[in-house]
Structure formats: structure tokens, C-alpha cells
């Protein structure tokens, strides 16, 4: 039964991506030694800075060469590495059910989220899951195989249903996730970008590293229907019968304006944003995401 719930994990993909570590773009605070940079100064091998000696400092960390040159006492401080908290925020509104059975937007999101959770756990980091639905699933990030199993099993049971609670869920996560974390949002973002901006800024204000996978279908962008059709609101149930030839121009202009506003949101919030089309191979999307977070040589 567990294997059925975790069918979104593909061993071949996991094996290929294991060589690409998941990095944070900013300093993290964790409870164990790890591979991510921390704002807390410690005594690892990576030098951070000098500061003036004050009574009570560990004299073993005095830099005697600096004292010889300046006749003043300075302490060497080093970066303290820590573990990362990965918080996966999964949109479960009705529109995430768009697509054929077994290949919906939510199925795609599960593959991205499940793979990231597995990779984080394999490198000793903590993973947690929030679903944007009522009742919401809230699993705080923890380390360990049993906790990873809980996250993956809950992820496998989620179904797309009802209207979006994206904005409320993001603000709620900003208040409840107290320590710095890598927040990964997986959604179609069918909300006004101006309202989404305040939610992203709330997360950034809490010092979280925010990444987003914006899941879109090519048909939604092109709107290339050639005959009258009945369009169903997957979040509210309303149906509209329309002739695409009469509304296609206005629809495409609305989509263009929406994507421009999303691009502006990304520029002003610093969010790590990835626009994904459902026909893209998800392992390629994740490889680009992971490679984009790899620290440049000589940087920390």
C-alpha cells in the first residue's frame, strides 16, 4: 500500500538527481551540523571574519600573526554549517486536477515535491508538508526516514478539491514556520499577482528562502480551441458556453498581462521562480532548479 501511495517517486530519476545537492540560497538555522551556511559563527574550517578580542573569549582562537603586525588582539570567527529545513507548500485547489487521469497538474506537483523531499532527507536535511486545502495538512519539517515516510504517504493521499486558499495558506505558513527554511511553493497561482506579492513578501520578511514552481499547461497559454466549447470552472463548478473565436484575443491578452505581472513580482521579491509547462520532463525541471542553487566556486 505504501508503494502505491508513493508511485510518484521514480527510482531512476532519484538515482540521476542524487549527484545534485539541494542548497539554500541564504544562511540557515538548524539543530545539527550540516552542509548549509548558518548566520551563527562557529569553528568549522571556513573562515568568516576577524573581530576584536573581548575578555572571556577563547584565547585559542586568537590570531597571533595579526597581533604581531598590529599589537592588538583579534579573534578568528568561522562559518558554522547547519542543516536545512525544506517546507513544501502544495496547492490542492480544484484547478490542480486539470489534465488527464494520472497526469494532472497535482500529479506533476507531487513528483516535484516528493523527489525534493527524498533528496533533502538523503543529505540529512529536514522535510515538511503543507497542503493548501480544508482541512489543511501541516507536517512540520523533521529529519529521519520515518518522518519522510509520513510526508510521502500524506502527499500521496491529497486530492484536488474546492476553491483556492493559496493566499491564506502562505500567510499562515509565514506565521507558523518560525525558523528559517527553504519554502517551495507548487501551484498554478490562479490568484491576482498583486495579492500574491504581499504573501511572498510576508515569507521573505520572516527570512525564508522562497522558491516557486508555477505549473501551467500549454493549452491554457495558447487557447487554440477551434469550435464552441463548454468551459468548466474547476474550483467553483460554474460552466460557460463560449465561441473561442470571439474571446481568444482578449483571453490571450489577459494571459500576457498576467505573466508580465508575475515577472514583475519575481523581480521585486527575489523569489526563486520557475515557470513550468506540464509537458516538460520533471527531472529536467528539478535538475535546473538544483544546479541553479549550487554555490559558485569560492563563494559561500
Residues 59 and 170 in one domain: no
Residue 273 clears pLDDT 70, i.e. is over it:
yes
CATH number of the domain within which 240 lies: 3.40.50.410
One domain for residues 17 and 133: yes
Cell of 28: 540557515
Rounded percentage of the chain residues whose pLDDT exceeds 90:
61
Do the beta carbons of residue 9 and residue 159 sit within 8 Å?
no
Read off the pLDDT band of 80 (50, 70, 90): very low
Q: Kindly state whether residue 264 falls inside one of the protein's structural domains.
A: yes
Are residues 206 and 78 part of one domain? no
Asked whether residue 138 falls in the same domain as residue 245, the answer is: yes
Same domain for 95 and 242, yes or no, is yes
Where is pLDDT greater, at 265 or 53?
Answer: 265
Q: Is residue 298 part of a domain?
A: no
**Do 78 and 187 share a domain, yes or no?**
no
In a domain, 91, yes or no: yes
- Residue 29 pLDDT greater than 90, yes or no: no
> Considering the domain boundaries, does residue 299 fall inside one?
no
Q: Are 254 and 221 in contact (CB under 8 A)?
A: no
- Average confidence (pLDDT) over 185-202: 96
Q: pLDDT-based confidence at 72, cuts 50/70/90? A: confident
**pLDDT single digits (tens) 212-235:** 999 999 999 999 888 888 888 888
Average pLDDT over residues 131-137: 80
Distance CA(129)–CA(57), nearest Å, equals 41
Q: Examine the pLDDT at 118 and tell me if it is beyond 60.
A: yes
* Between 194 and 229, residue with greater pLDDT: 194
Tell me the three cell numbers of residue 115: 523527489
- My answer on whether 66 and 178 are in the same domain is no
pLDDT confidence bin for 38, thresholds 50/70/90:
very low
Task: Determine the Cα–Cα distance for residues 164 and 199; give it in Å rounded to an integer.
Answer: 14
**Percent of the chain topping pLDDT 70:** 84
pLDDT of res. 28: 54
The number of residues making up the chain comes to: 300
In angstroms, rounded to a whole number, what is the distance separating the alpha carbons of residues 5 and 226?
Answer: 39
Number of domains the chain is built from: 2
Task: Tell whether 297 is covered by a domain.
Answer: no
pTM: 0.80
Tell me, yes or no, whether 30 lies in a domain.
no
Domain region containing 75 = 36-82
Which residues does 243 contact at the CB level (< 8 Å), separation at least 6?
A: 228
Task: Categorize the per-residue pLDDT at 79 as very low, low, confident or very high, splitting at 50, 70 and 90.
Answer: very low
Q: Kindly provide the b/e burial profile for residues 143-182, where b requires at least 16 CB atoms within 10 angstroms of the residue's own CB.
A: beeebbebbbeebbebebeebbbbbebbebbbeebeebbb
Regarding whether 152 and 62 lie in a shared domain, the answer is no
**Do 214 and 188 contact (CB within 8 A), yes or no?**
yes
Q: Answer yes or no: is pLDDT of 39 > 90.
A: no
Exposure on the CB side of residue 208, measured as CA atoms within 13 A: 29
* pLDDT confidence tier of residue 56, bands split at 50, 70 and 90: low
Say whether both 144 and 44 belong to one domain: no
Instruction: Looking at the structure, tell me whether residues 41 and 10 fall in a common domain.
Output: no
Whether the pLDDT of residue 186 is over 60: the answer is yes
Band (pLDDT 50/70/90 cuts) for residue 239 is confident
Over residues 251-259, the mean pLDDT reads: 96
Average pLDDT, the chain: 86
In this structure, the answer to whether residues 7 and 66 fall within a common structural domain is: no
Residues 49 and 149 grouped into a single domain? no
List the alpha helices (DSSP H) in the chain: 2-5, 11-17, 64-70, 105-122, 145-157, 166-176, 193-205, 218-222, 244-269, 282-292
Amino acid at each position: 500500500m505504501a508503494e502505491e501511495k508513493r508511485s510518484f517517486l521514480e527510482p531512476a530519476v532519484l538515482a540521476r538527481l542524487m549527484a545534485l545537492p539541494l542548497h539554500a540560497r541564504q544562511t540557515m538555522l538548524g539543530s545539527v551540523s550540516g552542509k548549509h551556511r548558518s548566520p551563527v559563527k562557529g569553528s568549522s574550517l571556513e573562515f568568516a571574519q576577524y573581530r576584536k578580542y573581548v575578555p572571556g573569549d577563547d584565547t585559542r582562537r586568537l590570531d597571533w600573526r595579526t597581533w604581531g603586525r598590529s599589537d592588538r588582539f583579534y579573534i578568528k570567527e568561522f562559518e558554522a554549517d547547519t542543516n536545512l529545513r525544506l517546507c513544501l507548500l502544495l496547492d490542492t485547489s480544484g484547478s490542480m486536477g486539470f489534465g488527464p487521469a494520472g497526469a494532472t497538474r497535482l500529479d506533476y506537483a507531487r513528483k516535484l515535491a516528493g523527489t525534493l523531499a527524498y533528496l533533502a532527507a538523503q543529505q540529512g536535511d529536514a522535510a515538511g508538508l503543507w497542503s493548501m486545502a480544508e482541512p489543511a495538512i501541516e507536517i512540520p519539517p523533521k529529519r529521519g526516514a520515518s518522518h519522510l515516510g509520513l510526508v510521502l504517504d500524506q502527499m500521496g493521499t491529497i486530492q484536488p478539491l474546492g476553491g483556492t486558499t493559496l493566499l491564506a495558506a502562505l500567510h499562515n505558513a509565514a506565521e507558523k514556520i518560525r525558523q528559517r527554511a527553504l519554502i517551495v511553493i507548487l501551484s498554478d497561482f490562479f490568484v491576482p499577482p498583486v495579492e500574491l506579492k504581499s504573501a511572498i513578501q510576508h515569507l521573505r520578511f520572516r527570512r525564508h528562502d522562497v522558491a516557486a514552481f508555477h505549473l501551467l499547461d500549454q493549452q491554457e497559454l495558447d487557447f487554440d480551441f477551434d469550435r464552441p466549447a463548454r468551459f468548466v470552472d474547476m474550483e467553483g463548478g460554474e460552466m460557460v458556453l463560449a465561441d473561442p473565436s470571439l474571446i481568444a484575443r482578449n483571453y490571450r491578452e489577459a494571459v500576457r498581462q498576467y505573466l508580465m505581472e508575475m515577472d514583475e513580482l519575481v523581480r521585486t521579491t527575489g523569489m526563486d521562480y520557475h515557470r513550468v509547462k506540464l509537458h516538460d520532463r520533471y527531472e529536467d525541471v528539478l535538475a535546473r532548479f538544483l544546479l541553479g542553487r549550487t554555490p559558485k566556486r569560492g563563494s559561500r
